[in-house]
A = this chain, B = another copy of it.
């Protein structure tokens, strides 16, 4: 993490690569900055690390370049899209924007997307809604990938099934980024590659014995990532996984029951406009009170002050915007061949602090 880069230069570089790979300006100009945004917020497995794999998917035709989503249903407060394997980052950003627009009309809006390509970091889409005063939930799953078993089972079935929630406040928004499983494919894959262990027994081997070694996921047959609650109360994470798979595959009507189409996502976006309930002031009054009581909450003996979800990410973003982004090692190297292929020059580090 020693080299730092200018965030705007990175975003322009990624945007340039996506345009060179065949995406139009609107799509490339949405995806490049949002990947950098994930790095800015500290989500280093779901930021520019995805740029090279996305370029490969555009290159081999498994990510669609042209046109927009096909509208499968539009009932005002409910919209369903077939994403046609278009870039998921662009589709999700558009879905949140549409969700906000519809929530302003109907009070609430539910957008379901089938056959999106991968959507990267859910947390970066939340502020599109919170800036408009709306509360938003975004969930996704990848029906082509299985790495989590149902509680009590051993065979991979679900993805980690992330869900992110944005809540507007009188100050910085609350940005929640969680999932139905204890950890992610990204982190276990990275730690396995580096020969490292997990911070706890967050996975199990193929027989169902809990382990902190991500290597158990790469045996044949493979082990699985444990649902939230692990061996002790993993029925809680299992329930959340079923909820998220129903929202992201059941509602859009495409998923594990269909032939696998490769790396992608089913997506569910829910936007709620507080003005349709009891008003923005009434909403913010409650949320700000809770935020204040979280901040003032006496920390665990010897521990740091209580933080709000998103607080650390927003602080990192502010620091990175002025002082530069510390990319995870290897990311710029992985993009070098693509830069060469498309005749672009990678940004140079602004510091080696």
Q: Which residues of A contact B (CB under 8 A)?
A: 72-73, 75-78, 80, 106-110, 112, 114, 135, 137, 149-155, 157, 165, 167, 174, 176-179, 182, 199-200, 204, 207-209, 228-229, 232-233, 235-240, 242-243, 245-247, 249-257, 270, 272, 274, 276-279, 282-290, 293-294, 297-301, 303-309
Contact = CB atoms under 8 A, between A and B. Distances in A.
Nearest to A146: B293
A107 B200 contact: no
Given A73-B276, A150-B294, A256-B293, A107 B78 contact: yes
Contacts of A293: 157, 256
15 contacts: A75-B107, A76-B77, A135-B246, A149-B297, A152-B306, A157-B297, A178-B240, A204-B300, A239-B309, A246-B283, A246-B287, A250-B283, A251-B274, A256-B286, A257-B285
Contact of A306 (B153, B204, B247): B153
A234 to B, nearest CB: 10
A257 B233 contact: no
Contact of A272 (B207, B251, B278, B308): B251
The oligomer's copy count stands at 2
A117 B72 CA distance: 41
Given A200-B232, A309-B242, A286 B75 contact: no
Which among A78, A243, A246, A287 has the highest number of chain B CB atoms within 10 Å? Answer: A246
Nearest to A281: B253
Which among A177, A257, A305 has the highest number of chain B CB atoms within 10 Å? Answer: A257
A201 B245 CA distance: 30
Nearest to A282: B253
B108 A77 contact: yes
Contacts of A235: 178, 309
B297 A155 contact: yes
B253 A279 contact: yes
Contacts of A253: 277-279, 282-283, 285-286
B257 A152 contact: no
A135 B286 contact: no
Contacts of A286: 245-246, 249-250, 253-257
B176 A243 contact: yes
A277 B73 contact: yes
Contacts of A243: 137, 165, 167, 176
A250 B228 contact: no
Contacts of A106: 75-78, 106
Nearest to A180: B236
Contacts of A209: 301
Nearest to A175: B239
A181 to B, nearest CB: 10
A273 to B, nearest CB: 8
Given A72-B277, A154-B297, A154-B300, 10 more contacts: A76-B107, A77-B106, A112-B277, A114-B278, A165-B239, A167-B242, A209-B301, A228-B233, A228-B237, A246-B290
Contacts of A76: 77, 106-107
A295 to B, nearest CB: 9
A274 to B, nearest CB: 6
Nearest to A300: B208
Given A135-B246, A242-B290, A250-B135, A77 B298 contact: no
